Structure formats: structure tokens, C-alpha cells
Chains A and B, each alone.
Chain A
Amino acid sequence: MKKALICALLLCLMAIPALAEEGDEQTIYRIVDEQGETVTWYCGQPEVGDEYIAGDNRHFRITGVDNTRRTAQADTLGVYEMPDVSWLYQDALPVASRQKAVAIYCTHSDESYEPTDGKSSDEERGGIYDVAEEFKAALEEEGITVYYSDETHHPHDAGAYRRSRATAVNLVEKGVDAVMDIHRDGIEDPDSYESTVEGEEMTKVRLLVGRSNQNAGANKAFATQIKAVGDEMYPGLIKDIYIGKGTYNQDLMPQAVLLEFGTYTNNKEDVLASTGHMAQVMNKTLYGSVSGAQAAEKQESKGAFGGIIWLVVLAVVGAGVFAFVSTGNGKAALEKWKGTFRELGGSVTGKKK
């Protein structure tokens, strides 16, 4: 029986490459509000519970998904209370006492811009690296040291995040203030990203954070801070914030964000034009002023403490579930639960259990 099971498993595995080729096509969903009005378009199937903060700060939560019509129902939660960035107009002291350092890398190494790169996906080195390098140069002009990795993580599949994790860990270990994963979107409509900022044509930037890790609160606070500063400095530059179910390696650092510079149908020149403005927004967000940094820290601390509670609850409940499953009784489970932490403490201190 077991041999047959193993043979069946191996046969299934042999069919995977064919399945993968069939599944390459991207699905575009339309998110609609209670009135049936389009809120946004995006690549992939949304999940109930995902959140979305639109360009005008309207806050939505996905409540239903219709796969046949490829639409998702979103409930309006109101207007998201964005962080106060009035410090931008104060004559405050810039934060310049320490070295300013950020890191950038690209998880999806093939991502390209069809009109200018000739294809939407380049298996050698996508046009996204040109965007990352332009962004790096713009950040350096702001006096920021940029740790940039041009490491590739082919192919473009869910495993790309597994391969880019090593890159992200190595960058975080440099002691940077923020880490940014550079992407482009997969939706077809170029208009949804086109924008005019201070009379210059460019594309917008979508911010994406995950909600499945201990840093979720801090990541979200960081993203809202970027959007608030961006909206004040260059209205029309930041498209929106999507809060999805993934982690995107943002569990590695509280100040981590995924940036989507335009979509594959945009001209790369328009995308490159946005990198300078985005670099200024990042500089102001991270190092703008003493009062700004304090406001950001306060906001992020709130998210960080939420993360600590999340972790403690996970550890305590996890140990409790294991104890209950193995003993089947509340009292015995409590004893085992206590024993687990006693053993853990004992192995550190060298005391006998």
C-alpha cells in the first residue's frame, strides 16, 4: 500500500512542470464597494479579510469573493486615520546624527515593462532592476547609504520569496533603517498607475504589507507613514496601500515594505521618473525631522507592541494546544505546559528539571 502511495506521489510530481505552464496566466480581479463601484483592480485572487487603503484614504475590507465574475466585495470601514505629518512644515532639526542606511532588492527578478522592455517577463534580468538602480541612485542623492542586492531569484513563482529570503536576511544584517522589495504590478490597465506630479508624467507607487506575521502592525504603521508623507509632499505619487495575507519576508524587520512601481503595461521611463520623488518621500519619512521621527517612532511602537502581544499569545497558546492534545485533560495539560517552560529555563540555567 505504501509503495503504491509513493509511486502515485512520484507520478504526480512528474506532471508538475506541465501544470505549472498551464497556470502561468494571471487572474485580474475587480474590487467593488457596497454600491458596486470599482474600488481598485489587482492581480490575483483576493481573500476575505484583506484590507485596502485607497489613494483618498478610504479604508475597505474584503468580505466576499465571486470567482466566476472575478470580483470581490469590499465593505467601507470609513476614512483611515493617517499619521499626523504636520511636522513636515515645521522648521525642525533633521535627523543627521547617525548614518542613514536602507536596503533594496527585487524578489521577482523577471518583472519588466512591456512597452519599453519588449516583454513583461525577462528570465535573465528584468527591467525592474533598472528601476531599483535608479531608485538607489536617487536615495544616494538624498545622502542615504543604500545596500542594494542585484541578486536574482528566478523563476517567478511562490518559491521566489523563499529564495529572496536569504537576500533579505543578509541586507537586514547590515543594520539598515528600512528594507524595500521592489516590484511592478501585474494588472493590465496602465491608466490606473499613470499620474502627473508637479506637472511631470510618471507612474504611481503601490505599498504592500502583509498581515500574517509578528511585524504586521509595525509594517502597516510604516506604510501609512510613507503614504501620509507622500500625500503631503507629492499628491498623486502614492497609489494606495494593500494589506494582504502573505508575509513577503516582512517578518524580518518592522520597517519593511513592498513597493510596486507601476504595472507591466506602463512605459519604464514614466516609472523611472517616479523614483526621485519616492526617494525624497522615503528620506523625509525616515529622517525628515526630529519631531517627525518621534511621531513615526510612536506610531511604529504601537504596532511593535501589538506584535509582541501576538508573539506571546502564539507561544503560550501553541504550547497549551500541544499540552492539551498530548494529555487530553486540562489539569494534566497545565502541568505539562508548566513543565515545558521549566525545561526550557532549566536548559538555559543548567538546573535539573
Chain B
Amino acid sequence: MSVGMILLAIASVLVLFGVGQRVLDKMQLSDRAALILMAVIFFGGLLPDIRLGMVSVNIGGALAPVGVCVYLLIKADTKKEVARALIGSVVTAGAVYALSFLMPDEPEAIVIDPNYVYGLAGGAVAYILGRSRRAAFICGVLGVLLADALVAVMNWQKGINQMLHLGSGGAMDVVVISGLIAVLLSELVGELLERMARPGRENKDPVYTPVKEGKRK
């Protein structure tokens, strides 16, 4: 492998690590905890999958992100917030399933890579339901996992013995990518709409005051 390719691989990992850390940092986690969790996702993804019959689960690609979701649901302020996140996950799963069918499947015809679209769906659903970045992460992660489980059940009903892989791509799996994109989208849309809704005079005094991210939803 050439030097250029090694540098490209390192740069890819660093960007994923950086984005992942920034996103998890907004999930009621300290900077250090977010970094450690990203390391668990990354290195856990390299460990062999846990096999349970026809289901294969990866530690970094599925268990760690689901663990974050469970933590966020436990730490939720109200039951309503929990319900919104869970309903959002089901709706996102439906959207992921729908997008898989409705988007072009032949490689020449793909307009935007479907692997990036699932996270956008999760972020959009979470924002409509609860305007919450925590819910966005939950929708992005659980939505993809539920959609995968749904497809597996449908395959098994047809007699197709296909393994159900949950997060087997580790840190590079769509589960992780979807969770990160969902939060970024909800953050971007949220900030944009909040800014547009603010009275004009406030914009004239644009002093940036850092906000403790953990305090925000």
C-alpha cells in the first residue's frame, strides 16, 4: 500500500473518530467518556461477532450504540420523551425499509448513497417528533437495527436462511453512521430554525457563549 493510501486510511479513521466524539459529547456524556465510547465502538467492531443462532451481533457496531440508546432512554426527563424516541425509532425503521425499496438498486442508477440516507431519515423523524438530538441518535441507531430485523424476518418467512447481521461492520457499519448523521441533521436543522425564530435584535448582539452541551436535549 502506498504512503498516500495509508495516510488516506488514517485520515478517514480520524474524521470518523472526531465526528463520533463530537456527536456523543452531546449525549449527556463528558468529553472523555465520549472519546472512550468511540474507542469501544471502533475496537469493539474489530472483535468477532457474538452468534446467537441465525443472528450475529457486533460489540462495536451494535451493542455499544444500543447501550448509548438505553442510557439515553434511562436518563430521559419524561416518559413522553421516551415514548417519542421509541415511536420515532419504529417510524424510522419503516422509513429505512421504504427507502430500501423505493431508491434505485442498480449501482449505475444510485443518486445518493442509501447508506447516508437512513441517518437523514432518522434525524428528520426525530426532529418532527421531538426536536431532540438524543431522540435523533436513538432513531438513527434503532431504526436501522429494527429495519434489518424486519427484513430478516421476511426472508425467513420466505424460507431464505440468511443470517441477520446487527452492526457487523463495526465502526463503519450503517448503524453507527446513521446515528451520527441523524444527530448532525437534527442539530443543523434545529439551530437553523431556532436562529430564524429569534427576534432580529438578538442577532445584532452575536456574542458566543459556550453552552454546557449536557444540559441541552
Q: Hey, which bits of chain B sit against chain A, CB under 8 A?
A: 1-5, 7-9, 11-12, 15, 18-19, 21-22, 25, 31-32, 34-35, 45-46, 58, 61, 87, 91, 94-116, 118, 128-129, 144, 147-148, 151, 154-155, 158-160, 162-163, 165, 167-170, 172-174, 184, 187-188, 191-192, 195, 203, 206-208, 210
Contact = CB atoms under 8 A, between A and B. Distances in A.
Nearest to A175: B1
B174 to A, nearest CB: 5
B151 A159 contact: yes
A308 B113 contact: no
Contacts of A215: 8
Interface string A322-341: 10011111011101100110
11 contacts: A6-B129, A45-B111, A108-B105, A157-B101, A160-B105, A249-B115, A298-B2, A301-B3, A311-B11, A327-B206, A344-B22
Contact of B115 (A156, A162, A301, A346): A162
A58 to B, nearest CB: 18
A2 B173 CA distance: 32
Q: Which 4 A-B pairs have the closest CB atoms?
A: A44-B109, A159-B100, A166-B168, A246-B110
A328 B203 contact: yes
Interface string A182-223: 010010000000000000000000001010111100100000
Nearest to B3: A301
A44 B107 CA distance: 8
Contacts, number: 242
B162 A154 contact: yes
Given A43-B109, A154-B160, A348-B35, A304 B5 contact: yes
Interface residues of A, number: 101
Interface centre among A254, A331, A332 (most CB of B within 10 A): A254
A305 B4 contact: yes
Given A23-B101, A244-B110, A9 B94 contact: yes
Interface string A249-275: 101101100100000000000000000
Contacts of A12: 94, 98
Interface stretch (A13-21, A112-120, A138-146): A13-21
Nearest to B46: A173
Given A155-B155, A315-B19, 20 more contacts: A13-B91, A16-B94, A19-B98, A44-B108, A157-B105, A158-B102, A158-B103, A160-B105, A162-B144, A163-B165, A165-B115, A166-B167, A244-B108, A245-B111, A254-B8, A300-B2, A321-B188, A326-B195, A332-B208, A343-B22
A157 B117 CA distance: 14
B129 to A, nearest CB: 7
A170 interface: yes
Nearest to A16: B98
Interface of A: 2, 5-6, 9-10, 12-13, 16-17, 19-20, 23, 26-27, 42-47, 50, 108, 123-124, 151-163, 165-170, 173, 177, 183, 186, 208, 210, 212-215, 218, 242, 244-249, 251-252, 254-255, 258, 297-298, 300-305, 307-308, 311-312, 314-315, 321-322, 325-329, 331-333, 335-336, 339-340, 343-344, 346-348, 350, 353
Given A157-B105, A158-B100, A328 B195 contact: yes
Contacts of A258: 107
Contacts of A335: 208
A61 B33 CA distance: 47
Given A244-B107, A348-B35, A214 B112 contact: no
Contacts of B99: 158-159
Given A9-B94, A123-B160, A307 B108 contact: no
A322 B155 contact: no
